[in-house]
């Protein structure tokens, strides 16, 4: 994927998901917890999810790591999304990362493998890290032995930036760009937010709520697709390992009486008694991806 022409394009709609902080409560140990976040992150990357909301939710089980849960989850998600060549600088050794070696590579566009200066091409886009910044300029690590200068002063050390490479007078120069304006899928961002708050922000957009008790996806397809093509953002909300969305909504006094909400069962006639969050996530995003492309072909 090193050639920019092969970079996967962004979806026209901004796709987001919301998952509970209790997502790891059915995992037996740190290794399983790490791998589960890996599976979810991979699914998000395959289907071009741009925002992952973690909503605080606790359910009493002996395996829950409670307070540290949120920090652990966000660390693993962010570690995975970070280009491998910047990880050492951004993620100091931590007990959270004990099993990071088992995490699957995301292989999204900015995880480029090219690491030789002589292979760089004009027009390339990469992620970089500000490693030095003074009143005149900044120095950026873009994953090569050679560091690059940026003529922007006073940037925050250790902040990630997206850069554009351009050959000027036979020298390769970098300039800073806003990844939000790129037409390529550029990974996801992690947010911790109360579920009620998340849904409030989406009340004029489109929200899919997934559960075994949801409405028939077959019968709601047309209405869903029409809505998805109208709005700019789509959120898919998932329940917890030991508590589905219906009881969670009840406890939080969340009511859904809105044309923009879809309460759907995306796995009609499932063969097993239960479906895990990560299984529901891949299955749901796969159908949405298919329906999306099917409707705009």
Radius of gyration, alpha carbons of the chain: 21
Angle at 214 (CA atoms; ends 57, 292), nearest 5 degrees: 95
Q: Is 219 in the site for a second copy (CB under 8 A)?
A: yes
What length does the chain have? 297
Among 23, 82, 106, 198, which residue sits at the site for a second copy (rule: CB under 8 A)? 106
User: Given the complex with a second copy, which of 35 and 173 has the nearer CB atom?
Assistant: 35
> How, if at all, do strands 14-20 and 233-237 pair?
parallel
User: Given the complex with a second copy, which of 243 and 279 has the nearer CB atom?
Assistant: 279
Maximum alpha-carbon separation in the chain: 65
Among 5, 168, 257, 297, which residue sits at the site for a second copy (rule: CB under 8 A)? 297
Among 56, 104, 123, 153, which residue sits at the site for a second copy (rule: CB under 8 A)? 104
Q: Is 179 in the site for a second copy (CB under 8 A)?
A: no
Q: Is 251 in the site for a second copy (CB under 8 A)?
A: no
**H/E segment holding residue 18:** strand 14-20
Nearest C-alpha neighbor of 23 from the set 199, 279, 278, 248:
278
Among 67, 178, 218, 253, which residue sits at the site for a second copy (rule: CB under 8 A)? 218
Among 62, 183, 251, 269, which residue sits at the site for a second copy (rule: CB under 8 A)? 269
User: Given the complex with a second copy, which of 54 and 285 has the nearer CB atom?
Assistant: 285
> How, if at all, do strands 138-141 and 125-133 pair?
antiparallel
Give the number of other Cβ atoms within 10 Å of residue 9's Cβ: 11
Closest approach of a second copy to the CB of residue 100, in Å: 12
Give the number of other Cβ atoms within 10 Å of residue 79's Cβ: 21
Q: Is 266 in the site for a second copy (CB under 8 A)?
A: yes
**H/E segment holding residue 292:** helix 277-296
Binding site for a second copy (CB under 8 A): 1, 8-9, 28, 31-32, 35, 39, 42-43, 45-48, 101-102, 104, 106-108, 185, 216-219, 221, 266-276, 279, 282-284, 286-287, 289-290, 293-294, 297
């Amino acid at each position: 994927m090193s050639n920019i022409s092969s970079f996967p394009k962004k979806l026209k709609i901004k796709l987001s998901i919301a998952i509970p902080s209790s997502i790891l409560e059915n995992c037996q140990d740190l290794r399983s917890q790490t791998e589960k976040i890996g599976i979810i992150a991979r699914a998000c990357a395959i289907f071009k999810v741009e925002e992952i909301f973690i909503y605080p939710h606790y359910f009493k089980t002996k395996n829950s790591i409670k307070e540290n849960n949120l920090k652990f989850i966000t660390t693993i998600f962010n570690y995975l999304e970070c280009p491998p060549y910047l990880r050492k600088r951004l993620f100091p050794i931590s007990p959270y990362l004990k099993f990071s070696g088992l995490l699957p590579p995301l292989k999204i566009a900015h995880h480029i493998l090219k690491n030789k200066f002589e292979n760089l091409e004009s027009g390339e886009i990469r992620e970089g890290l500000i490693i030095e910044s003074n009143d005149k300029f900044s120095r950026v690590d873009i994953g090569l032995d050679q560091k690059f200068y940026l003529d922007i002063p006073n940037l925050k050390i250790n902040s990630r930036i997206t850069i554009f490479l351009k050959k000027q007078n036979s020298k390769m120069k970098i300039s800073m760009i806003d990844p939000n304006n790129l037409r390529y899928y550029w990974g996801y961002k992690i947010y911790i937010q109360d579920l009620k708050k998340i849904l409030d922000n989406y009340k004029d957009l489109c929200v899919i709520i997934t559960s075994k008790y949801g409405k028939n996806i077959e019968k709601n397809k047309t209405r869903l697709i029409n809505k998805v093509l109208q709005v700019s953002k789509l959120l898919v909300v998932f329940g917890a390992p030991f508590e589905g969305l219906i009881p969670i909504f009840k406890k939080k006094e969340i009511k859904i009486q809105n044309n923009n909400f879809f309460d759907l069962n995306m796995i009609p006639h499932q063969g097993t008694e239960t479906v895990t969050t990560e299984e529901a996530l891949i299955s749901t995003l796969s159908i949405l991806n298919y329906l999306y492309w099917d409707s705009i072909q």
